[in-house]
Structure 1
Amino acid sequence: MAESTPDSVPAPSGPPPRSRLRAFLGLALLCAMVAAVWLFGYWEPRLLPIRVIEVEGELHHHSSRLLEKTIGERLRGGILTADLVDLKSAAEELAWVGRVSLRRVWPDRLQVRVEEHRPLARWNADRLVTAEGVVFHPGTGTIPAGLPVLEGDDSRAPEVVRQYLKWREDLMLAGHLIQVLTLDPRGDWRLELVMGTELRLGTGAIEERLARFIASAPQLEAAGQPLEVDLRYSNGFAVKWAPSAESPVPANTGRSKRSGNRG
């Protein structure tokens, strides 16, 4: 006689009630958090607005009012939610502005500390460069008069500035001022002095070559008006004189200018 088997019990369909409850609570919590964030973002600028933008620093080319206007137009949020990184970027977009720092001052003030660029020289045709080698565009018609001119690739601006500062001191001791300093793409250094003399230093041993000119400068000036002094020789230099100068006395460099190769 065949034994009867009990009917199989069907498995319950869907997640258990406890899992469904946890999922519902999680969704409700997420919705509550989103709503809280929205409400905070909506009410915070109204309840805790920034009422005062205080600009500090020695400003010459950008007034405090212009900076306040620039930051005010970019300002989003209140004292707690204002994006200081974005506001800093907005201030630094102004041509003469160098460094900017911002600080929240409770309950409704934003403190902005500004340092303007201080140009050391003109850079190439239409820009300026600071003593730190920072190149910036000052805007139309705002380049100060009377600055020396430094020329070169932007990536080498710090190097050109360092050489200018060093050579400026060295030449001032000899009674000369630099009008133009150029570093061309081949690495060739060239100086133009205020007195009208051009110095060709080449690519190597430039410190030694400049020292050679400084040591011989009194003798050269006593002999006439040098237009160009080519120092790209290992053991001497060549001089091109102004046409109006009297027959120059040969410069006593201690060596013939043909005794070395140019470079």
Structure 2
Amino acid sequence: MRAGTLGLAIAEARSAFITASAGAGLSVNDVAVHGRTATEPEIILRTLGVERGAPILDLDLAEAKARLEQLPWVASAAIERHLPDTLYVRLSEREPMAIWQNDRRFTVIDREGRPLADAAELARRGNRDVERLPQVVGANAPGQVQKLLAALERVPAVAKRLKAATWVGDRRWNLTLDNGVVVKLPEGGVLTALRQLADMDATGKVLDRDIVAVDLRQADRMVLQTTVILPGMEDEKKKPGKKT
């Protein structure tokens, strides 16, 4: 028997077996999903590509797993057949960490900067968790947010007050706190600067003073800005060669 003929015979035998198995009760009657929070059930079913009554042995589990892991919210997936009639799907979803604002669009991202969903759409669906997420601003902000979040997690006194973070000049962050105070972070040594701010606030209540900004861009000093600097005035106050 030629290879092509043999392959065709095997395929026909497999098809006949799968059809017979469905007739014997081995067909999809239920899809049990665990670990799902953000991913819509209908999207999961559509991605699996199965319908009620389909032969349960006909589903390629590896391919279905790969398709599920292409969904924005899904970090990993596992699929099992629980014979005679149930598919068991276990998902591990990505955690939303911030809302990325760019070109008038607001996108929920995870800690790695991966886009997850449109923030406005989630809000329309009644997802109130979106309102509690801090905003990150800037075209390249998602690529830098992981390092910032890692530093903030180690300084919870500052992290809990964060409302927004703006990626400035493609090299450093400005943080906006819950009282409107702007914290200007340095290009490097972000964790050290955040700890300095937390220590100063713990001992001197710096963030409760009548200030509009805290400048931490220089490692050897903290500058408190008590009045709003009008456009153009900041350049006059800067020393030659000082970066912004």
**Correspondence for 2:232:** none
What per-residue deviation string (whole Å, max 9, x for no partner) do you get for residues 144-180 of structure 1? 212112354444343232123223x1426xxx61112
Partner residue of 1:192? 176
TM-score by length of 1: 0.65
Contact 2:135 2:164 in 1 (8 A): yes
1:170-209 alignment runs, 5 A limit: 170-171=157-158, 177-184=161-168, 186-209=170-193
What is the aligned partner in structure 1 of residue 68 from structure 2? 91
Q: Which amino acid aligns with 1:106?
A: L
**Which piece of structure 1 moves more, 227-236 or 158-167?**
158-167
Structure whose CA Rg is larger: 1
Q: What's the offset of the Cα at 1:93?
A: 4.2
Q: Is the 8 A contact 1:74 1:90 kept in 2?
A: no
Q: How many residues align?
A: 214
Tell me, yes or no, if structure 1 residue 231 matches structure 2 residue 208. Answer: no
2 CA distance for matches of 1:85 and 1:73?
14
Q: RMSD between aligned alpha carbons?
A: 3.4
Partner residue in 1 for 2:154: 166
Residues 240-255 of structure 1 aligned to structure 2 (within 5 Å) = 240-242=225-227
How much does 1:39 deviate?
Answer: 0.8
* 2:79 is the alignment partner of 1:102: yes
Task: Specify the alignment match of 2:231 in structure 1.
Answer: none
Q: Equivalents in 2 of 1:233, 1:31: separation in Å?
A: 73
Q: Which amino acid aligns with 1:209?
A: A
- The separation in 2 between residues aligned to 1:186 and 1:63, in whole angstroms, is 36
Match 2:3 to one of 27, 30, 42: 30
> By how many angstroms is 1:70 displaced?
3.6
Higher relative contact order (CA 8 A, sep 6+): 2
**In 1, are the aligned partners of 2:216 and 2:223 still within 8 Å (CA)?**
yes
**What's the TM-score once normalised by structure 2's chain length?**
0.70
Give percent identity, aligned residues only.
17
User: Conserved in 1, the CA contact under 8 Å of 2:186 and 2:216?
Assistant: yes
CA distance in 1 between partners of 2:76 and 2:110 (Å): 13
- State the alpha-carbon separation in 2 of the partners of residues 48 and 134 from structure 1: 45
Q: CA deviation at 1:182?
A: 3.7
CA contact (8 A) 1:55 1:114 kept: no
Is 1:74–1:87's contact at 8 Å kept on the other side of the alignment? Answer: no
User: Any gaps of 5 or more consecutive residues in structure 2?
Assistant: 124-129, 229-238
Taking the TM superposition and a 5 Å limit, the aligned residue runs for 1:215-230 are: 215-217=199-201, 218=204, 220-221=206-207, 224-230=209-215
